[in-house]
Structures are given as C-alpha cells and as structure tokens.
Amino acid sequence: MDSLRTRKGAAAAAAAAAATCGTQHSAHQHPPSQPQQHHHQASAAASSTGAPSQALHGNGGSSAYYSAPAAGPSLIPKVDFSATSSKPLSLTKREQRSSSHKGSLKDGKRSLPRNTVWDRMGGGFNLGPGEGRLLLGLFLLGSVVRLYKIGRPSSVVFDEVHFGGFANKYIQSRFFMDVHPPLAKLLIALMAYIGGFQGGSFDFKEIGREYGPEHVPYILMRLLPAVLGLLVIPIAYLTLRGLQTRPTTALLGALFITFENGLITQSRFILLDSPLIFFTALSTLFWVGFSNENEVPRDRAGRVGPFSRRWWIWLTLTGLALGAVLSCKWVGLFTISTIGILTILQLWTLLGDLRVPIPLLVRHFVARALCLIAIPIVFYMAMFKIHFAILSNSGDGDGFMSSEFQHTLRGHGMEDTFAVDVMIGSTVTLRHLRTQGGYLHSHPSNYPGGSKQQQITLYPHRDENNNWLVLNSTADPERPDPQNDSPPRPLQDRDIIVLHHVSTNKKLHSHDIRPPISEVDYQNEVSAYGFEGFDGDANDHFSVEIDQTETDTKHGGRDAKKRVQTLRTRFRLRHLLTGCYLFSHKVKLPEWGFEQQEVTCNKNPSHDNALWYIETNEHAALPSTSPKVNYRLPGFFGKFFELQKVMWLTNAGLTDRHAYDSRPHSWPLLRRGINFWVKNHRQIYLIGNPFVWYLATFSVLAYFGIRGMLILRWQRGYKDFAHSQVVFYDGVCGFLTLGWFLHFVPFFLMSRQLFLHHYFPALYFSILLSASVFDLATSFLKPKFRLQAVVIFALGAMATYWYFSPLTYAGVWTREQCMRAQWRSHWDFSCDDFLSKDALKKQAHVEGDVAVTTGISTTAVVNELLPGRNAFGEDMIKAPVSSIIPNDPLATPAAAVPGPDDPSTTIMPEDRPEAMVLPPAAQQETDLVPPPARAAAGENAAPVGPKDEAGEKLEAVKEMARNAEERFEEEQKARQVRQAEAREDEIEEYRKEAENEPLKIWERIEPKRKRKPKPKPKPVPVKAPAKKVVIDADDDGEEEEAEVDAYVRKIRAQQKYTDDDDDDDDFNIKNVGKPKLDEDLPELG
C-alpha cells in the first residue's frame, strides 16, 4: 500500500514537473508572435507529424510513455520534445528550439519536402535538399586526401609486416595466432585474393622491403582501409546532423576528420585501425538513428515510433555494427559499453515512468537484449567460424594452442598408435600443461654461463630432440635391468626414474646452480649431462608425483591416478637431492637459446606451471593388442573458447617496451608519434594534426568545466536545467564525452604495449565533441558570422594538415623544414634522414635533368621521382661519395650525404665506407664531352659520344655507388654488433662484481655530491718503437723511408685512427686511410 502511494506521489510530482517544464520549454521555443500551444495539443501535433527528437537523451519510448525531466543535472538528460510545432523539426530551422536561432533560413518558416529518402529512413536526420550535394563534395575531397599516391611507398610499412603476412596465411590456409579478432584481417585477405595474390610469393617479413617483381596487390589491399577511412567523413557529418546540430557544425566536424593527419596516415596502409574506427563511427550513427526514431510518438498504423519497421531496422543495424567493431579489435568492447550505458539509461527511464505498462517495458528490454547483445555475439562467433574454416592447415601458430586444438588441423594429426600405460623403458614425449610452450626438449648447444652444460628448453613443434627414454634410477640405457624392465611394468606414482635424451645420449640433470635467466635462489638450473662411459649420478634422479585433481579420470578411470597414462595423467617431477620441481614459465631464452622457453627446477613452483603429461608413448615390447589412445578433438565451441583464452593471455603478455610506444596520459597532448617507415631521405611518421588534436582536447576540458559549473549552480538553486537549450547541449556533449571517456580511460588499466593509434577511437568522439562545443559557442552569432568562423577553423585545420603532409605521404622535405616542424621536443621524427636544402637542390638538378644518349642527340627529362626510387628506377644513393668523376654531368659533391648541412664536410672513415675513387682509365672514359662543348651547346643539350659508352659509364657509376653503400651498411651492422657485445660483457662483469664485491659497487653508485670527482689524468702518448716503414707517399712509383713514431703520435693526438676492438693492441698503420697520408705525413726527402 505504501509503495502504491509512493508511486502515485511520484506520478503526481512527475506530472507537475512535466507541466512546468513543458510550459517553460514551449515559451522558450516559440517566437512571441506565435501562440503557445498546450502541452497535450503539442503532443498530438507531434504525433501526427512524427517529429524526430534528440538522439541520446535516454527517453526510451514515445512521448506517450515518458514524463518530462525534473530540474536537475544528469549525465544524459531527458528532454520533452512534445512541445514542438506541428511541422517537422528542421535542423536549419532553429527558431523551433531557441529564439536566438532566427535567420537560419530566409523565410524562417520553410519546412523540408516530405517523402524524401531521409524522411523514409527516419532517424531524425532531416537533411536539406542541398546537403546531399554537400555530402558528395565531402566524399570527393576525402577521396583526394585519403587516396593521394596511395602506392607510395612501394615497400612494407610498419605493421604491414603482420597484417600483410596474415593475409598471406589466409590464402595459404595456414593457421596462425593473433591477439585481434579476424574480421578486419579477413577483409584484407579478401582484397588480396581478388587482386590475384598467390600465397607464399611474398612474406611481408621486413619493414622497407620492396614489393618487387612478385605480384603483390598491395595497392588494392591498402584501398580497403583507405575507403573505410574515407567513409568515416560522411558518417561523422550524418552523426552530427542526427544529434540536431547545424549543417555548418556538421560540416566543420567532417572537415576536421578529413584533414586529421593521424587518421589519414593510419588509413593508407594495411592496418586494422581504419576498419575499427569505421565500425565505431557506424555503430554511433546507427545508435543515434535508433534513439531518434525511438522518441518519435508511435502512430496508429505503427509505421513510426517504437516497434515500427524503421525502429527495428535501426536497432538491428546497431547490433550488427557493434558485432563488427568487436570483430575487428577488442577495443570494440568500449563501444559496446558506451551503447550499453545509454541503453540502461533508456530502460531506467521507462522503469520510472508509471504510464508505461510492465508488458511494454518487458518488450523494450527483450528487443534491446536481442539486438544489442545476441546479434553482436552471434556476429562475432560467425567471424571465428569463417576463420576456422579457412585456416584448416597446420601453421606457425600451432604452438600457442593445446594439442587437442592442434590435431583438428590438417598436417598435425597423429595416429592411434600409442599405448595407454607408460612403461619403464618407453620412449615418450613430455608436454607442459599450461604455458603452451611445447615439449621438453634438448639440443646439442650449451648454456653460455652457469654449468655450461647442454640446454634444456620447451620447444613448441614436433622434433626428434623431444624424445626421452624412461629408465629406472639404476638402469643403463644400453643394458637395461631385466628384473625391472622385462616384462615391462607400468610407470607408477612415486617411482624414481631417469629421463635419458635419445638424440644426444645425455640425461635430464639438475643441481644447485642458478639458471641463466631466472637467477633467484629458489630456481635451479636444469641441463642435459653425461658422456660416454659415465653412468650418471644422483642429480639425474626424479620422482614421479601424480596430481590427483588434474588427472583425467573421466576417460582413464581410477587407474590414471595410480599409474601414468598417455594424455590422461598429470604429474610433477621432483628432483630427489634438491627437492625442486621441473618447471617452466613464459620466459624466453636469448638468441643463444634460440628464443625457446626456459625450463628450470623450482623449489616453490606454482601448481600449474609444474604439471606435465605424456603425449606420445612407444615401447617395442608391448603387443599390438595393447590399448590405444588419442586426443579428443574439440568442436567449434571448444576451439572458440580456447582461442579466446589464448588471445587474452597473449595480449596481456605484450609487456615488452617498444621504441615508439607511449602511455595514455600522453595521447591527448600528442606528446609523441610512431615512426612507420624511413627510406631514401623520406619518412612516414604517424602524428596527428596538432590544430585538430588540441582543439579536441580543449573541448573535452571545456565540457567538464561547464558541466561542473552547472552542477554547482544547480546546487545553489539556479534553474539552468529548466532551459531547453542547456539541456540540449548538455545531452549532446555528454553523450560524446561519454564515448571519449570509455574509449580512453580503460587503457590506463593495461600494462601491455600501447601506441598512439590506440587513442584514435576516442579521438573520433572528441572531434565530434569539438564541433558540438563550436555549435554551442556560436549559437548567439548570426549565420553569416558563424559561417565565417567555420571557414577560419577549417582553414586552420587545412594549413596544419598541409604543413605536416610530407610525414603523411612520404613526401620530399628538407632537414631545415623538418627541424622547424618539431614543435615539441618529444616529436622524434628523425630530421637527419632528410637532405639539407642545398643537397636537395643539387639532387633535383642531377635527377631531374638527365640526358640520355642513344646515338641520336635526344634529351629525357625526369621531373618527378617514383616513390622510393631515383630517376633511373634504382634505389637512391645513400652512401657518401667524397671524390668526383672529372667532367661527369651526373656527379655532384656529396649530394646525397645524410648528416651535416654542409655537403663539403669531411666524413671520417668510421662514419662512411672508403672513398670511391675511379682509376685514371675509367676517368678518361667518362669524359665523353669536354665541358666547353657542353656549355656552348646549351643547358638542354645532350652529350654526344659513342652509342653505348654513356650507358656503360652510367652503369659503372651506379654499380660503384651500390658497392659503396653495401660496404657502408655492413660496417654499420658490424659496429652495432661489437657495441652490443661490449655492452653485454660490461653488464656481465658488473653483475659478477656486484656478487663478489658489493662494497666496491656501492662506492661506484654513491652520489657524486658526497665526494669530488677525481680529475682524470691526461693521456700520456705512448711512444711506439721507431720503425722504418716503406711508404710511397706521393704515388709517384718511388719508395721513401720515414720515421713512423712522430707520425703515430700525431695521428693519435688528432684521433684519426680507429680501434674497433677497444683493446690495447699496438697501433696499426692499416687503420689510417691512405688518402690521409699526403696531408698528415711530413715531407719526405
């Protein structure tokens, strides 16, 4: 009874609030010249016209089923739009919402034509007659921006290594494992298949690798994300129009999306983020359309309003889009959360409306559960069904999955030839239960430290080195004990065994020595130890302990808990002397361990990581009638849930640092980007449009500030939320801020690798929010001034986009321009990879005016270089050249030298390959035409000479340049290897010193403020023993003798020698380049 009174009181209060708010709303919207309609009359009028309403205000039904909002703040406010005029609400006819919007149309009373396509589809978009052409214009503009030179560069860029490789495996039907769902990868593979790509012809394994002569339809594959990124532009426009903003506001938001450099860059390559953003935007658009249709009063025929055909279409499309965004990346869960919160608010509003009967409330709930929960789940699982159907063959992703899963793949199954009971003397393979690391494995390679005995690892693939012979602790592999092994007896719980490695004739061994990676007291090294004539020792003995809880008794019965059975029994191996357990975890060994998984003996292991089971079992003495066993193959649901688990664990394990990773707090401020590609003095660097980016971030902060101020004013008794304009903008901005918040804040909870592109879905919502804030800020302006403001902001976005476009399109940029563009110190795109202004001019002169001789005097001028190539179709010369071929029309002084601005700056031998010097004969051959003759003939005249000599000379120059470049790269790689080895030695020495002499280490790390640093003694030149060295210093064919000691001291003082080994070896005259002899040696008599 009390609850009934409470509901009646709430209904009375709601009715009173509705009358008050409806009167204020009507008075605020209608011009003074028009009589204000009564609330119920306006509702009837709205019902007759089907007037659309705001997209997200949580009303949950038609105006007949919800009450007007009470004054007060709410995240997504409820607005009563039943007090509108009898004409459809036009987004350009802003007089219907606020008297400050007069003048939006010339006559102020014009309504949209009825029965247009937009009117038939519903959703409250109400586009004007000219907006279709505006959308077409935005599409064409976006096409130019997104598709401009999409084939450049013609080599692998950033994560095309992964996703291009996945397309390759789809075509080959080879199973792989990725942390992302399959939809976007399937679409990319479909484009590759349509383009005729033959799987296996190109492997995408290296960034910068040219797609080359193999038929790789990389342009067609890049077109898919580019087109999806292009479609985001009109979707953004329609979304803003569905949110009832002005056309100029929607145009500004669409232009911001069009000229956002980060979105452009990400959509031009074979990556997953463009499909993700597309389906995120599409889900938002469909939800806006559904919410608008949901607020239209239902007519008697059921053609509009809740549960009408249009209502069901919008709701179903929203569910399909949510399933698609989730099937691209798990970031789609944030989009589902956004729509889910708004759905809960709608249902909560319906629950509080006493005019909504319970059966109708149940219908609303069931409809939303069906379309927004069931449809996305079914769509998501259908993508994996297709994924499994295509990837039917065994591949390099098998090792991540369980053996049961692996045996559903062609080429990985095993026959039913393995005995159930494991016998003493059986040859077995042991598999780790939890980590999917694979089989217990050994190979003839030793640990570099510790005992330096043979390595024990986990290896994920089948191999002969996985085979182990099970012996009694007293047995010998060549002379088994007949009393224990004949007839063979089963391996039982608490048996003490020795595992003998079949391939290398060594035994599984452990001792009180720390392992090479997990160097902690409770971890012991596990190795394979033994040699000919050695029977082993007690460190080879392990006790079998069957796990009673993990063992599969459903198929093996109780016997599986008493004796070890293939595939069914789970057991641990305890080392007898030290009491530790054979253990493995997700720690990879370095290159010396072939990056296989570490195996140790752990004294305090986690339960799961110490469990093993026998996968294969063979014994020669067993009869053919012995029981057999095999894996139980899982069905679709078993494979589906296992893959989800592996994806989750693998994704959570991506905690290693990356050179260009970043944390979420830096994303709204655009602190740093990602280097995608560098080659041939060009670069692709993922960086956003600072103008658009910072404006979007400011809009988020502005909304939080305004919302906080409104809450404080509401607490002080002000009635701001009684004004429809305040409620309207609070609803629109609150929805977009909620989308930004839920797509951004969850990343703070992740410890995995994160990059700037993870912020792009949140950036989309913040850009739409910036347009909405602009709509609010300019609501008091006349249309002419508002349009001028749109032009100013659009030009700012376009200018910034153009300024950073060389990083987006791999365009030509000078080092000086690059340095000026580094507005923030953390923007780490490398300006050293660009040519200086002078060098670029010289290169353009050389490569743009190339004269080709073909017997007849002709001139071929190449004004534009192909992507990543020079005018001759070859890779651009990067190696520095210090000498010039006399009279060579193609040579310029160090035109392509990266580094100093001055091309004439001397490059030391350790920074470049040896100087390229042609022999005199070759120099004479290249002088085809004397310089005066060329000058007299004019600038455009082609050199005259024999038919083939010019081409041969050109090929010789290019060949020598290529050789110089190769030598330079080899020296760079060798130097990096030496530095890495020296660093490893230094770390190892430091570690040993820390263990043996900790006080000495403390003195080294003590703060410098406690003691003054000792001045370093000046190096005393060591006089080399005087030698007589024969040197031909002036290349005249005659030999001179000179004292070398003074020369050595001079060279050492000037540090003109190299000592790559960092040792104390004697100075070697070979370390000094011969071209330096003439200028460094004293004149010899």
- For residue 829, the model assigns a pLDDT of 84
Residue 72, both tokens: 């007060």
When pLDDT is cut at 50, 70 and 90, the band that residue 1016 belongs to is: low
Grade residue 965 by pLDDT with cuts at 50, 70 and 90.
confident
Neighbour count for residue 1070 (Cβ, 10 Å): 8
| Least confident stretch, 315-329, 534-548, 777-791, 1026-1040 | 1026-1040
Provide the β-strand partners of residue 469. Answer: 427, 500
Query: Which tokens go with 163?
Result: 């996703």
Question: Is the pLDDT confidence value at 114 over 60?
Answer: no
Would the pLDDT of 790 be above 50?
A: yes
Q: What's the average model confidence in pLDDT over 388-407?
A: 87
CA dist 1013 and 14 (Å) reads 79
- The pair of structure tokens assigned to 128 is 């004007």
Confidence of residue 325 (pLDDT cuts 50, 70, 90): very high
Q: Is the pLDDT of residue 79 over 50?
A: no
Angstrom distances, CA of residue 646 to CA of 105, 398, 402, 434: 58, 11, 10, 11
More confident residue, 436 or 235: 235
Among the ranges 678-687, 849-858, 984-993, 996-1005, which has the highest mean pLDDT value? Answer: 678-687
Mean pLDDT of 959-963: 74
Q: What is the pLDDT of residues 153-175, one digit of tens each?
A: 999 999 999 999 999 999 999 99
Amino acid at 369: A
Instruction: Work out the pLDDT band at 952, boundaries 50, 70, 90.
Output: low
Better-predicted residue by pLDDT, 443 or 980: 443
Helices (H), 871-945: 920-926, 931-937
Residue 19 reports pLDDT greater than 90: no
Q: Which of 443, 930, 419, 828 is nearest to 629 (CA)?
A: 419
User: What confidence score (pLDDT) does residue 758 get?
Assistant: 95
Amino acid letter, residue 508: L
Higher per-residue pLDDT: 318 or 828: 318
Instruction: Report percent pLDDT > 90 for the chain.
Output: 39
Domain spans of the chain, in order of start: 2-99, 415-630, 835-975, 1020-1085
Strands 454-459 and 468-472: unpaired
Contact 254, 89 (CB under 8 A): no
Contact 488, 570 (CB under 8 A): no
Residue corresponding to tokens 């939890």 = 434
Q: How confident is the model at residue 338 (pLDDT cuts 50, 70, 90)?
A: very high
Q: Is the pLDDT of residue 215 over 60?
A: yes
Predicted local confidence at residue 900, as pLDDT? 36
Q: Provide mean pLDDT across the span 478-498.
A: 70
For residue 50, the Cα-to-chain-centroid distance in whole angstroms is 45
Question: How many other CB atoms sit within 10 Å of the CB of residue 263?
Answer: 29
880 or 848: which leads in pLDDT: 848
Q: Which of 1073, 682, 1059 is CA-nearest to residue 882?
A: 1073
Report which residue type is found at 559. D
Q: How confident is the model at residue 1074 (pLDDT cuts 50, 70, 90)?
A: very low
997: confidence class by pLDDT, cuts 50, 70, 90? low
SS3 state of residue 251: helix
Contacts of 619 (CB under 8 A, 6+ apart): 419, 423, 425, 426, 427, 488
Q: What is the spatial distance between Cα 733 and Cα 670, in angstroms, rounded to a whole number?
A: 22
| pLDDT for res 609 | 87
- The pLDDT score that the predictor gives to residue 1026 is 46
For the residues 114-142, what does the mean pLDDT come to?
Answer: 78
Statement: residue 893 has pLDDT above 50 = no
More confident residue, 113 or 977: 977
Residue 804, pLDDT > 90, answer yes
Q: Which of 35-44, 136-145, 701-710, 1047-1056 has the lowest mean pLDDT?
A: 35-44
Query: Cα(945)–Cα(409) distance, rounded to whole angstroms?
Result: 66
The helix/strand/coil state of 381 is helix
- Region 479-487: mean pLDDT is 51
Q: Are 563 and 493 spatial neighbours (Cβ–Cβ below 8 Å)?
A: yes
**Considering the chain, what percentage of its residues have pLDDT values greater than 70?**
67
Q: Which position has the higher pLDDT, 963 or 313?
A: 313
Q: Residue 130's pLDDT is what?
A: 86
Question: Do 89 and 126 contact (CB within 8 A), yes or no?
Answer: yes
Residue 990: its pLDDT value, please?
64
Is the confidence at residue 469, as pLDDT, over 70? yes
Q: Is the dihedral of CA 363, 365, 366, 370 positive or negative?
A: positive
Q: What is the rounded distance in angstroms from the CA atom of residue 658 to the CA atom of residue 756?
A: 12
Residue 55 has pLDDT above 70, yes or no: no
SS3 600: strand
For residue 759, the 8-state DSSP code is G
DSSP tag of 1043: E
pLDDT category of residue 59 using cuts at 50, 70 and 90: very low
Mean pLDDT, to the nearest integer, of 229-248? 95
In this prediction, residue 859 carries a pLDDT of 35
Element housing 1041 (H / E):
strand 1040-1043
**Most confident among 86-100, 893-907, 939-953 (mean pLDDT):** 939-953
Residues 6+ apart with CB under 8 A from 992: none
CA distance 80 to 262: 40
pLDDT at 286: 96
Give residue 398's pLDDT band: very low, low, confident or very high (50, 70, 90): confident
Task: Please provide the DSSP assignment of 634-702 as one string.
Answer: --HHHHHHHHHHHHHHHHHT--S--TT---GGGTTTT---EEEEEETTEEEEE---HHHHHHHHHHHHH
What is the C-alpha separation between 306 and 308, in angstroms, rounded? 5
* Reported confidence tier of residue 757, pLDDT bands at 50, 70, 90: very high
Please report which residue ranges of 352-374 form alpha helices under DSSP H. 358-369
Nearest CA among 194, 165, 193 for reference residue 177: 165
pLDDT for 785: 94
Q: What is the CATH number of domain 415-630?
A: 2.80.10.50
How much is the pLDDT for 118? 56
Average pLDDT, stretch 732-753? 94
Max CA separation in the chain (angstroms): 124
Question: Would you say how long the chain is, in residues?
Answer: 1085
Q: Kindly state the tokens that stand for 398.
A: 């098998």
Q: What is the model's pLDDT at position 475?
A: 57
* Averaged pLDDT for residues 925-936: 40
Give residue 886's pLDDT: 37
What is the rounded average pLDDT for all residues in the chain?
A: 75
Contact 514, 450 (CB under 8 A): yes
Taking residues 300-309, report their average pLDDT.
83
Give burial (CB, 10 Å; 0-12/13-18/19+) of 8: exposed
- Confidence band (pLDDT; 50, 70, 90) for 1084? very low
Cβ neighbours of residue 478 under 8 Å, at least 6 residues apart?
A: none
The reported pLDDT for the residue numbered 1053 is 55
Quote the CA–CA distance of 776 and 940 in Å, as a whole number.
61
CA distance 397 to 390: 14
Q: 123 and 292 in contact (C-beta within 8 Å)?
A: yes
- Cα within 13 Å of Cα(494), Cβ side: 1
In this predicted model, which residue has the larger pLDDT, 103 or 341? 341
Over residues 598-644, the pLDDT tens digits come to: 999 998 887 788 999 998 888 887 777 777 777 888 999 999 999 99
